A and B are shown apart, each in its own frame.
Chain A
Amino acid sequence: MKTIRDTGLLFQRHLTELVRNPVWLFVGFSTPILYLALFTPLLKHLAHLPSNAVLDLFLPGILALLAFSSGVSAGFNTIFELKGGVIERLRVTPASRFAILTGPILASMAMMFVFDAVVVAVGAGFGFSVHWTGLPILAVLLGLLMVITSAFSIATALVTREISGFAAVVNGINLPVLLLAGVLIPMSFGPAWLRVLAHFNPLYYLVQSSRVLAGGTLTGTAVWQAAAVLVPLTALTLAWATSVVRKAVS
């Protein structure tokens, strides 16, 4: 089918571009490792837990954080491509508009899974307990979040068209979403109203479910809740973003 073929072509195109960018590769690998290296000792101190327990609690959240931040920053590349005429060059071809959107998202996702695997492997070396049954399901949820955030980010870039406007939107949502997700600091530390607010944050559900799944439990409430939030949200953002690609100017 044409859409699948086009998606494959544009997947390959973006993957080649990512792999040929050494700075991006280096940062991609080092960021999650740095998070682990810097935050694990801090949390160990704060919660008086042994480092393997801290990793069990903290590492799944880092994976969620990675999915969120790489998705949200996807639009920076879109702005760059807009300025370079790449988006126009693709849009003037008969290629599927859905593929123009999702090809690059899937390529970034493939790279993210490579980074995730490295994080899990390094974490396992320091005592993170790997449960093989939960991780594939976690990967699906991570993938969904990445599609949501990337599609949102790319569409926002196409609408704002300028790096300044786009950066303002991204920075504006970054802080509240990250704070209310309970990745770096558990939400249980916060007051009740903050915990209520967190329930409006899709990332919060992913972080909650990631801990359960990484612990090897497949059918916890947190998992169902995450799926119930992420699946419809994925469909919604994809539909909106595809319509933006269809009409994008310049």
Chain B
Amino acid sequence: MDDIITTTDLRKSFPARGGAVAAVRGVSISVRRGEIFGFLGPNGAGKTTTLRMLTTLLPIDAGSATVAGYDVARQPQQVRTRIGYVSQLGGADELATGRENLLLQGRLYGASKQQVMPRAETLAKLLDLADFADRRVITYSGGQRRRLDIALGLVHEPALLFLDEPTTGLDPQSRANLWEHIRALRDGGTTVFLTTHYLEEADALCDRLMIMDHGEIVAEGTPRTLKQQVAGDAIVVSLRNGDLDARRAGAAVRPEPYVRELSAGDGQLRLYVDDGGTALPRLIRLLDESGIGIRSISMSEPTLDDVFLRQTGRSLRDGGPDGAQASARPAEKETAR
């Protein structure tokens, strides 16, 4: 068996005013040994809740999960010794030094102090912590702290590491640096399961990913195959007269033979075409003949956002990192859990 995680119809609801709110609605996944597997979705999609169930932190309502060869609900201790988990919040002791944190964490996994010391040394080197390992954590920068958090999750050499939004709040440089570290872990044989709401991160980092929305999996595959599902090129046209024109333009363009998919709204026309190079001049001519003013026009190869848009009818970017979608559904805000 090459799957390090398998789940069947995993479900979780939280009590809320006016009845239970389903945060995870039947998630079935399989993660292969040695890959970087990603959960992509907006805040509130149920990513963290799923992760908490897989890491024994949250009781499972229904369905089953096997992690690192053991049933999560029935053998939580076995699972705990085999996985590492780094929460969004980190959780290092601020008044202790990085090294003290590592030593304690290793000992909580049952190792002796003598066993942990060389391991802490190795991890400090691996994650570039050596220079400040003996300083108190409260003095660390955001990126340094994140790397310590990850080192804490790795101290017992788990075969599987869970990272919940590992790069949230980091500057672009620290983010790129952390990606390198995560790739190095995978290359060293560790399976990495991460959640993210950054498209670029999922695209650049994950070998395989699932897109999650409202507690359900809406798409799965490698970033490449997912993007290939959205055929050809994406063209976005901003219209001068907003919504009124968008509707007219939609009606005018839809019958054209080169249009694979089309959506019109918010003063924009968004369409997917087989070949942008031939479609674009024809599209511009048609709009011009119909007397529809163009404000701007852009063409791009499909991104994971196009995949998300196609599956859910919404853009991941619209909401931004702390998206409007998430705050409009407060009951599903998973960070509060």
A interface residue numbers (CB < 8 A to B): 2, 6, 9-10, 13, 16-17, 20-21, 83-95, 247, 249-250
Q: Are B91 and A84 in contact (CB under 8 A)?
A: yes
Within 8 A of A (CB), among B94-128: 94-96, 100, 104-105, 107-110
Chain A: which residue is nearest B84 at the CB level?
Answer: A92
Summed over the interface, the residue pairs from A and B with CB atoms below 8 Å come to a total of 71
Q: Are B95 and A247 in contact (CB under 8 A)?
A: no
Residue count of chain B within 8 Å CB distance of chain A:
31
Q: Are B87 and A89 in contact (CB under 8 A)?
A: yes
Name 21 interchain pairs, CB-CB below 8 A, sorted by A.
Answer: A6-B108, A10-B108, A13-B93, A16-B96, A17-B95, A20-B96, A85-B87, A86-B93, A88-B57, A88-B85, A88-B91, A89-B87, A89-B92, A90-B91, A90-B108, A92-B55, A92-B57, A92-B85, A93-B80, A93-B108, A93-B109
Q: Which 3 A-B pairs have the closest CB atoms?
A: A85-B89, A85-B91, A89-B91
* A143–chain B nearest beta-carbon distance, Å: 25
* B82–chain A nearest beta-carbon distance, Å: 10
Q: Are B77 and A20 in contact (CB under 8 A)?
A: no
* A149–chain B nearest beta-carbon distance, Å: 24
Q: 12 more A-B contacts (CB under 8 A) besides A90-B91, A94-B109?
A: A6-B108, A9-B104, A9-B108, A84-B91, A88-B85, A89-B87, A89-B91, A90-B108, A92-B56, A94-B108, A94-B110, A249-B52
Q: Are A94 and B77 in contact (CB under 8 A)?
A: yes
* A84–chain B nearest beta-carbon distance, Å: 6
Contacts of B57 in A (CB 8 A): 88, 91-92, 249
Chain A: which residue is nearest B100 at the CB level?
Answer: A16
B205 within 8 A of A: no
Cα separation A47 to B6 with both chains bound (whole Å): 73
Cα separation A90 to B153 with both chains bound (whole Å): 11
B58 within 8 A of A: yes
Within 8 A of A (CB), among B39-75: 52, 55-59
Cα separation A95 to B94 with both chains bound (whole Å): 20
Contacts A92-B55, A249-B337, A250-B337 hold; do A86 and B108 have CB atoms under 8 A apart? no
B267 within 8 A of A: no
Q: Which of A2, A20, A91, A94 counts the most chain B CB atoms within 10 A?
A: A94
Q: Are B58 and A94 in contact (CB under 8 A)?
A: no
Q: Are A88 and B87 in contact (CB under 8 A)?
A: yes
* B213–chain A nearest beta-carbon distance, Å: 22
* B92–chain A nearest beta-carbon distance, Å: 8
Q: Are B337 and A85 in contact (CB under 8 A)?
A: no
B81 within 8 A of A: yes
* A81–chain B nearest beta-carbon distance, Å: 8
Q: Are B87 and A13 in contact (CB under 8 A)?
A: no
* A127–chain B nearest beta-carbon distance, Å: 39
Contacts of B336 in A (CB 8 A): 250
B88 within 8 A of A: yes
Cα separation A63 to B245 with both chains bound (whole Å): 79
Contacts A84-B91, A89-B91 hold; do A94 and B96 have CB atoms under 8 A apart? no
B10 within 8 A of A: no
Q: Are B89 and A84 in contact (CB under 8 A)?
A: yes
* A160–chain B nearest beta-carbon distance, Å: 13
* A167–chain B nearest beta-carbon distance, Å: 18
Residue of B87, B91, B108 touching A95 (CB-CB under 8 A): B108
* B14–chain A nearest beta-carbon distance, Å: 9
